[in-house]
Structure 1
Amino acid sequence: MAETVLFQEKQRFRQLGLWTVVLAFAAIFWVGFVYQVLLSGTYGNNPVSDVELSVVFAVVGVYLPLFFYKMNLTTEVLPGMLQVYFSPFHLNPVRVPLRLVRTYEKVVYSPIGDYGGWGIRWGRKGKAYNMSGNEGVELLFYNKKPLLIGSQRAHELYQAIRQAKEMKSEIGS
């Protein structure tokens, strides 16, 4: 029997500043590769071999932007369970049984100030999974530090968690 999905959200990095840095960095290697390997020039004062430049170009010029493009955060709320999957870092979703959640609230936070940025982060306020923006739902537990789930649809996530906790308590009764 398939589980009922009450909420699902898939997020990607959308910050213009991040993409500007990643693509500008990659562009340096594209220029070097085209000039030295394809046009047979020498790139820089102390150029590396064409093979070395090709390898670095593949890693930084192609795979780094592709890595950031493919990275995503998927959040799902099921009856009694919240799942977070941060691709490509998690092989399996992180499962949070909602019975362990003491309370939860929709929050506006400072990604850099509270957690040091976006991604899988540990900060003075606990752990966070976030991709962009500054809204989410903070889960407070009985026996461990808080967990923040960043969301572009924080109100819907909050409502789904409430519904999932109620459904589980109804099933368990």
Structure 2
Amino acid sequence: MMQRANYSFRETSRLFRPAFLFSFLPVFVIMAWLFFDQRAKRDNLGVILSIVIIVICIAALCFMFLLKLTTTITDEGIAFKYAPTMRQFKIYPWEQIASVSIVSYNPIQDFGGWGLKKSKKYGKGYTTKGNKGLWIQLTDGQSILLSVFATENIKTIQPHFLAKKLLQ
């Protein structure tokens, strides 16, 4: 349905940033030091612990590298997919949408960070980089915030969707 439509807007953004590598660097250095220190002391528990922590850090970095938010807006509605946590697009037809607006938000204050989070103000948030989002309020009272960068592109298609139903 949504994937065959003629897209008026489509954007893909990733969560991963090079700064994440630098935030994990002290952990890697400490764990490498611990590994060699405990190995020299023949402390198997310390060696195993350092290896486990390094593997967990590498797995977390790989997961962050894979996270990708794809947002589409068409005549049919708004769809998004937050891969790899979502395998298929979540589609909201215009009939289920009460309002849509572009908002500025603070990822730390409003959501406690990036990723898939909840906020009292915006509801469920699918955030990557930046501080601009597409805030979707549904007719059932739920709301969703999707990180977007190309807000000007959304504003240019806005009259089309206002004529159709909304997008303020």
Query: TM-score under structure 1 normalisation?
Result: 0.73
User: Which of 13, 21, 26 is residue 24 of structure 1 equivalent to?
Assistant: 26
Q: Runs of 5+ in structure 1 lacking a partner? A: none
Counterpart amino acid of residue 103 in structure 1: S
2-structure distance, mates of 1:91, 1:128: 17
Structure 2 contact 99–136 (Cα < 8 Å) conserved: yes
Counterpart amino acid of residue 21 in structure 1: S
Q: Give % identity.
A: 19
Structure 1 contact 128–149 (Cα < 8 Å) conserved: yes
Give 1:83 shift: 1.6
Q: Runs of 5+ in structure 2 lacking a partner? A: none
2-structure distance, mates of 1:32, 1:97: 54
Give 1:165 shift: 7.1
Is 1:156 the equivalent of 2:153?
yes
Give SS of 2:86's match.
Answer: coil
Is 1:129 the equivalent of 2:126?
yes
1-structure distance, mates of 2:18, 2:160: 35
For residues 113-135 of structure 1, give each alpha carbon's deviation from its aligned partner in whole angstroms, at most 9, with x where no partner exists: 22222211211111211111111
Structure 2 contact 135–143 (Cα < 8 Å) conserved: yes
Structure 1 contact 102–142 (Cα < 8 Å) conserved: yes
Say what the alpha-carbon RMSD is for the aligned residues.
3.1
Give 1:105 shift: 1.4
For residues 6-59 of structure 1, give each alpha carbon's deviation from its aligned partner in whole angstroms, at most 9, with x where no partner exists: 2221112256664432343344334445x369xx5349xx66264554444333
For residues 108-162 of structure 1, give each alpha carbon's deviation from its aligned partner in whole angstroms, at most 9, with x where no partner exists: 1222222222211211111211111111121222222222111111232354566
Correspondence list, 1:9-88, <5 A: 9-13=11-15, 18-33=20-35, 35=36, 41-42=40-41, 48=45, 50=47, 53-60=50-57, 62-88=58-84
Structure 1 contact 105–158 (Cα < 8 Å) conserved: no
Query: TM-score under structure 2 normalisation?
Result: 0.75
2-structure distance, mates of 1:20, 1:120: 22
Give 1:90 shift: 1.2
Is 1:143 the equivalent of 2:140?
yes
The verdict on how the C-alpha distance between 1:155 and 1:23 changes in structure 2, with shifts beyond 3 A counting, is farther
2-structure distance, mates of 1:160, 1:26: 46
